[in-house]
Structure 1
């Protein structure tokens, strides 16, 4: 393996510090801390870039992880920062835990930069589920209020809405999208046709977790608001943020929740909630707060003792993400998905269940075999080919498949092994 110094010299690569990502106290930091924040290389040549990216992950050398959609590994540079802060905090936990306010704000500023919004609209929490639950349980409901959602939304989100229905007598209006869906007008019509004068909120999944279908959130939101500006729009962005190139502020939604341990590759158990500034005061926090009707975003981050080392390490994940660049990252992720799909799509026993149109899918793909159940395929891929994928289905039972989610560190050789496995299993 080429060592890091030689690698940076190759092709005239340089390591350039990005001061935008230096936490406030680092100017006075120890040499040890500054070292874990060492500059990352700026790489223009594509082949060198993806070689460097792969080497920055401490992933299995035997099992190809094609289930990054559930949770992604962190680059080694993120692990190093997390390990450093974990050790430091363990020296005097109570002193560090509540004395890192400026550093925490710096992380929110970096996230706001990615999201294209104000830091006063960003709360760091633990995952998408917590972010969406904050919104769902934070709203005031009247009996008969209508919530529009789909049978292809994420299971835990649907379960939450069903509990709201049972407790507050709201009405859930279920849409059913025939995945993959590749027509903006068809999607928009499905949502807008369900709106009545009782519609309280529209729930949109930005990138579907089942087959990776990207929905035109901006267009849906604009259409909904044109009918009634008072209708709130909540977006499940678990698979959108740091995966595809967009700004939350451009979507027009009122709320957006995402996990940072998926496509941003931040530490496990880190997430983010966006609340439009005008909506903060009227949204109750999920956990108790001294002023629950405050108009400050901080009320959504009050949940007791937290994993602050993980939160501070988000900044390093952002730096790694920006070193690649969202345009190159999105293009690479889509290339990996298209690579395996186009090489198995002609097999008569393979059913592809994901769009190849770039506006409707990126990294996530789905397939089934006609001659074998999804569960059996998943087991054989793992046992015989050392490939890890996962099964997915929707609430209606109409959609099922194996979800395949490569990430930026995935090697073409791993996809070739996966492709060979599909073809061989399709013969059985």
Structure 2
């Protein structure tokens, strides 16, 4: 009898997931975060005592390698790791029961919490695996015809570029790509470039909210307002902004949006989200089959077959962790970290920063290069000689090393980066 009661208590706890009073976040971090809050000084730019508590909540802060490629994928904090482990262990006891009958019940509460974080109606949120899946669903689902025009850029993410090129090959859609020389500290210059490319056949503008190569923040709202005045819809790639910038999706005034939750939200690897404005859901075909492909139910995009329910449910603890810090505070901190190292690096002879340091034009991601060296050479030296992990970028007209700190990054880590860049530049 006791075993049966324990079994049902365990099942109920799994069903509640991250959103009950006994969430792992409440158990592991709530008291620590509350205590750290007492040290917060609104007048300070750094608040290192507070941020040391956040850093300790990530195992990555203690890695032998300094991880500065969070723009690729971010590590999860301990609470998310433990949630994923808990759900995986439960599923292993009987996947067809725990996944389909217990964890599956957690999707609707998760949808509600994601919608709250995004500032949207829950009926506009679909949960999937990454930004590529979300945006490909939209790109291939739009009812475009031969001759319809789409405007994007050479600097958009490769998987989105290839998706539009595939639609061009398959359906005769005309895909036009602008090119920008970043950094640009003039929104109107960017908006005008899109506006000048519009013709009577233009149906879609595709905008990357933060250019993943160098961190330029694109003026999505201004572009959307211009496009809507001309009857054009806007697809927004928010892979690098959700969980980083302090905004709600409706603020952007776009029509379609996709993001990866395993970047700055620090959810488990393989988690993503798609948003479609409610009155447009019906016309978008699901990427994978559904019994009612023309319905207005956002869940038609979640017919993914068997997938990792543990990953999906562990997203909840990442939301708890995010809300424990606060969107604005997190954005300001990561911008501070970017500016901290980049301003110092810019003073080193032979070193060039490829990203604006103004908060309205960039956050987190910055590009750096060393005169006389290829990006991949600088990247290789950083990891080999200094155990600093970045990524070399060679994409269209962008050639630099991408550096992306996160909330767990320590100032001492960034001091080591600046020191390493100085030593490498001296030998270049």
If the length of structure 1 is used for normalisation, what is the TM-score? 0.90
**Equivalent of residue 16 in structure 2, options 25, 31, 49:** 25
Tell me the CA shift for residue 37 of structure 1.
Answer: 5.2
State the Cα deviation string for residues 88-107 of structure 1 (Å, max 9, x = none). 11112111222234411111
1:401 aligns with 2:400: yes
Distance in 2 (alpha carbons) for counterparts of 1:136 and 1:49: 42
User: Does structure 2 retain, via aligned residues, the 8 Å contact 1:281–1:295?
Assistant: yes
Deviates more, 1:74-83 or 1:49-58: 49-58
SS in 1 for 2:197: coil
Summarize the Cα distance change of 1:269–1:26 in structure 2 as closer, same or farther, 3 Å threshold: closer
Summarize the Cα distance change of 1:417–1:142 in structure 2 as closer, same or farther, 3 Å threshold: same
What are the within-5 Å matches in structure 2 for residues 153-302 of structure 1? 153-228=156-231, 231-302=232-303
Summarize the Cα distance change of 1:347–1:27 in structure 2 as closer, same or farther, 3 Å threshold: closer
Tell me the CA shift for residue 26 of structure 1.
Answer: 6.1
Query: Number of aligned pairs?
Result: 401
1:83 aligns with 2:85: yes
What are the within-5 Å matches in structure 2 for residues 23-422 of structure 1? 25=16, 38=27, 40=30, 41-42=33-34, 43-44=36-37, 45=39, 46-59=47-60, 60-99=62-101, 100-228=103-231, 231-394=232-395, 397-422=396-421
SS in 2 for 1:124: strand
User: Does structure 1 retain, via aligned residues, the 8 Å contact 2:104–2:309?
Assistant: no
SS in 2 for 1:106: helix
State the Cα deviation string for residues 29-50 of structure 1 (Å, max 9, x = none). 9x9x756751523232233321
Summarize the Cα distance change of 1:92–1:176 in structure 2 as closer, same or farther, 3 Å threshold: same
User: Does structure 2 retain, via aligned residues, the 8 Å contact 1:23–1:106?
Assistant: no
User: Does structure 1 retain, via aligned residues, the 8 Å contact 2:257–2:274?
Assistant: yes
Summarize the Cα distance change of 1:243–1:122 in structure 2 as closer, same or farther, 3 Å threshold: same
Deviates more, 1:57-66 or 1:68-77: 57-66
If the length of structure 2 is used for normalisation, what is the TM-score? 0.90
In terms of fraction of residues, the more helix-rich structure is 2
Summarize the Cα distance change of 1:350–1:28 in structure 2 as closer, same or farther, 3 Å threshold: closer
SS in 2 for 1:123: strand
Counterpart of 1:14 in structure 2 is none
Tell me the CA shift for residue 79 of structure 1.
Answer: 0.7
SS in 2 for 1:427: helix
**Cα RMSD, aligned residues only:** 1.8
Q: Which runs of 5+ in 1 are unaligned?
A: 1-21
User: Does structure 1 retain, via aligned residues, the 8 Å contact 2:216–2:361?
Assistant: yes
SS in 1 for 2:270: coil
